[in-house]
Structure 1
Amino acid sequence: MKFIDIFSGLGGFHVGLKNNGHECVFSCEINEDLRDLYEINHGIRPHDDIRTVSESDVPAHDILCAGFPCQPFSLAGKKKGAKCPESGRLIDHVVRIADYHKPQFVLLENVPNVLTIENGTFWDYVRNSFERIGYRIDYRVISPVDLGIPQNRKRVFILGTRSDINAESFKWPSASDEGIVRVSLEEVLDNTLDHKKLESKKSDILALWQELLNGLNIATLCSVSIVAPEFGATYPENFSKLSLRELKHYKGAYGQSLEHCHTWAELLALMPSYVQKGKQIPQWMLKSIRFSRNLYQANENFCDQWAKKLSKINNSWQILEWRGAHVKHVIKDHIVQFRASGIRILKADIAPSLIAMTPTQIPIIPSESRYVSKHEAAKLQYLHTLKKLPEKNNAAFKALGNAVNAKIIELIGKNLIPVSL
């Protein structure tokens, strides 16, 4: 079948569908550098802006593919949905082209939040728009790890089937399908490839957190964070309705006394950053706050001595988000991400989702004191067969974070049965 590739990026749709023998006849990508790479990798020069494309200039096609921009719907983005003036309504241009050409299939990809943003009204808009022009809409939330690829990256894949086609002939791929090959993360990683070494400051902070884990000898850690500012803290979980005088009897971050505070500004400056705005502990942190305070009470002297060595400059480095092994708490045996919410420790067998919004969350292999390379990240997206990736590391990870997983597209495309003409 012939397909078009809108918001094409590095060409995840292109690679996946080409692997099934389909032919790309048109693409569109607004980023000039990615247009250059697309031409090098795929032999087609993309149009620059979907908003300036005339429907009649788009060649006839059987499959319309679009990974429409996800930032308005991502947890890491602005979450403005269709109200986002930059890109939220670019889906309208996909509908416009589909309405003109009536391809057999429309294949879309986005973050799962597209289903729920604005209380589901944007998803209703998308579904109704395609149903209005003659398509039946179905979708699945799929992560690469579901199909044997060692990356946690949930995305919603949306299939529009033209109403005159038997939609029941299509089956979504699943882990039980014949031919699904499971790949381990160990097979993906290759430290001989060009990669960035971990900065000494990050190595030092990981070593310091390991010192705490060794000293506390915690029996079990399960999806909880160790929040260092709570060591010695006694302030109420919600102090939004308490007076300044009432709070003077409590202790703030790291057990700092609040009794000499004369203004709210002075008091809040002694509080952890996550309570300064709302004057209460965020609901999602309560479990970890209580855990950390109990941990401190059982190990007060050790925690006090350890906290003296911890830099208080970077708020997120004062929180260890444990998502790793429940019993063996050795950081170097895991994967690490430095996130805005804290230092996240993850199990070593599955890579975290590649993120386009920021280059600071590139996964780290602590046992080798290095970051995951762009070539390894391309393997996780099944784009490692491309002739060329962006030269700069940040640009490469941004593009890979925005890319659709080519293997998932290949498996979906394998089950698209064309109508005989």
Structure 2
Amino acid sequence: MKTATTEKGIRFIDLFAGLGGFHVGVSQLGHRCVFASELDEGLRDIYAKNFCLAPEGDIRRIDERLVPDHELICAGFPCQPFSRAGKKKGAKCPSSGRLVDEIFRIAEAKQPKYIMLENVPDVISIEEGKFWEYLVGGLARMGYEVDYKVYTPREFGIPKKRKRIFIVACKSGLQHFKWPAPEMGERSLRSIALKSNDQHNAISKEKEFALSCWQDFISQTSEFTSLPILASEFGATYPYNKKIKTVKEMSAYKGAFGVSLQDCKTWASVQEKLPKHSRNENGKASPRVAEAIQYSREIYNRHSVFLELWKNDLKGFPSSWTKFEWQGDREQANIWKHIIQFRASGIRIIKPDCAPSLIAMSTTQTPILGEERRYMSIKEAAALQSLDMLDFFPDNNSKAFKALGNAVNALIVKEIAKELIH
């Protein structure tokens, strides 16, 4: 089949368009987007501002006969049903698990030469591979040869690890196609940050003080662990591996930060003095939490003289600030040389050469660039998806990071499309 072209290359459509990662990557090769669809009204407005093309809404309501002719379908179909966060509901998910049928419907009507899809790698194994068979089988029945590969942005020089599966299909076969094997030096997250001239928001003095306290902890104890360190367990002695039956028995122990429980007369008063993570079962913890409790108490026993004074500064902190998880560089024992995240589960220290996953998050959960002592900006997060050239993003921090987390990486798209479209 001969590929039809326009003055600017082939025509493509962008389904489940989001912020337009496919649009950016493919159009950079000189090809022209002639149609887009996106369910989210806010993202439709932003897409229209960025690309001067107003997307249609719900793809299920689009008449495939009215979709303009095109040679390439691009679709980052919704990944939630296939991801771990989506509990792997797969094709059974009633809201979006079978939205690939909409891609099939348009492909059947318009017979484009090429198809490019993107999703999470779990799409292969969900439902023991049944959905993957359904997807590949559907494309094969329409005459497409199909191939796939899992990439991370890190392989393309971008400091981000999140794996994604890219699927390509071609009516005339894939003999011409070769998956890109980039040999690009990796950029550091700091180099991306320094390129950005966005407005930057400094962290609060309270957070800076909390991090300084934890830096003192590291400097004095040299304790590193991937398990959460629970400061509220420093000095605690209550049993965490069994459920105590009476208040009188529990009163012999110490609760959060070593506070005595001897004056407690009711379970309510006991629970007030226990760490939050141990309140539900009168002290008994889940196996994962119990492991962290045990390790935290061992740390306290090794450094009790220092920690007896140190822990006093943490007593007034929010509960999540008293939990600390090191995923950083063990050769660099300096918090401020890392990426930092204040999460509901605690403070997490992350290696400085790789960004955490971009997800919907409040302003306070946004990754912190330690050396800058400030939050990562939306534009910097966009650079991790090769979308920093866009002029418009959701102005709400949570919505912006959610959209960027769901976005397709434009650079990877460009490199694949360069090999696919002949």
Q: TM-score interval w.r.t. the shorter chain?
A: 0.7 to 0.9
Native 8 Å contact 1:324 1:334 kept in 2 = yes
Distance 1:15 1:46 in 2: 15
What is the match of residue 413 of structure 1? 417
Pairing 1:200–2:205 present = yes
Distance 1:266 1:169 in 2: 72
Q: 1:261 to 1:332 in 2, by over 3 A?
A: same
Native 8 Å contact 2:233 2:256 kept in 1 = yes
Native 8 Å contact 2:15 2:74 kept in 1 = yes
Q: Which moved more, 1:229-238 or 1:24-33?
A: 229-238
Q: Per-residue deviation at 1:371?
A: 0.8
Q: Per-residue deviation at 1:172?
A: 2.5
Distance 1:151 1:78 in 2: 23
Distance 2:361 2:131 in 1: 22
Distance 2:131 2:236 in 1: 43
Q: What per-residue deviation string (whole Å, max 9, x for no partner) do you get for residues 307-358 of structure 1?
A: 2221466332121111112133211111111122211111212222222355
Distance 1:122 1:67 in 2: 16
Q: Which moved more, 1:95-104 or 1:250-259?
A: 250-259
1:403 to 401, 404, 407: 407
Distance 2:188 2:100 in 1: 36
Distance 1:158 1:312 in 2: 51
What is the match of residue 214 of structure 2? 209
Native 8 Å contact 2:225 2:325 kept in 1 = no
Q: Which moved more, 1:209-218 or 1:79-88?
A: 79-88
Q: Which moved more, 1:249-258 or 1:341-350?
A: 249-258
Native 8 Å contact 2:14 2:37 kept in 1 = yes
Q: 1:58 to 1:174 in 2, by over 3 A?
A: same
Matches within 5 A, 1:242-391: 243-244=245-246, 251-257=254-260, 267-277=270-280, 281-285=285-289, 288-311=292-315, 314-356=318-360, 358-391=362-395
Q: 1:9 to 1:262 in 2, by over 3 A?
A: same
Q: 1:273 to 1:126 in 2, by over 3 A?
A: farther
Distance 2:265 2:89 in 1: 40
Pairing 1:226–2:229 present = yes
TM-score, with normalisation over the residues of structure 1?
0.85
Q: How many residues align?
A: 410
Native 8 Å contact 1:359 1:397 kept in 2 = no
Q: What per-residue deviation string (whole Å, max 9, x for no partner) do you get for residues 208-234 of structure 1?
A: 21222223244xx25343221222334
Q: Which moved more, 1:337-346 or 1:298-307?
A: 298-307
Structure 2: unaligned runs, 5 residues or longer = 1-9
Q: 1:222 to 1:33 in 2, by over 3 A?
A: same
Please tell me the residue identity of whatever aligns with 1:253: A
Q: Per-residue deviation at 1:390?
A: 3.2
Please tell me the residue identity of whatever aligns with 1:349: D
Q: Which moved more, 1:288-297 or 1:230-239?
A: 230-239
Q: Per-residue deviation at 1:93?
A: 1.6
Superposed CA RMSD in Å reads 3.0
Q: 1:258 to 1:181 in 2, by over 3 A?
A: same
Q: What per-residue deviation string (whole Å, max 9, x for no partner) do you get for residues 387-417 of structure 1?
A: 3333444443332222111011111112214
Q: Per-residue deviation at 1:244?
A: 4.5
Distance 2:235 2:412 in 1: 49
State the secondary structure of the residue aligned to 1:376: helix
Please tell me the residue identity of whatever aligns with 1:372: M
Q: Which moved more, 1:227-236 or 1:369-378?
A: 227-236
Q: What per-residue deviation string (whole Å, max 9, x for no partner) do you get for residues 224-259 of structure 1?
A: 43221222334555426x645776665443334556
Q: What per-residue deviation string (whole Å, max 9, x for no partner) do you get for residues 252-282 of structure 1?
A: 4333455666766555554433344577544
Q: Which moved more, 1:271-280 or 1:397-406?
A: 271-280
Pairing 1:18–2:27 present = yes
Distance 2:246 2:145 in 1: 60
Pairing 1:144–2:148 present = no
Please tell me the residue identity of whatever aligns with 1:214: S
Q: What per-residue deviation string (whole Å, max 9, x for no partner) do you get for residues 163-184 of structure 1?
A: x5333543323344xxx35433
Q: What's the % identity of the aligned pairs?
A: 46
Pairing 1:34–2:43 present = yes
Please tell me the residue identity of whatever aligns with 1:200: K
Native 8 Å contact 1:16 1:408 kept in 2 = yes
Q: Which moved more, 1:272-281 or 1:202-211?
A: 272-281
Q: 1:201 to 1:135 in 2, by over 3 A?
A: farther
Distance 1:82 1:170 in 2: 29
Native 8 Å contact 2:361 2:397 kept in 1 = no
TM-score, with normalisation over the residues of structure 2?
0.85
Distance 2:318 2:139 in 1: 47
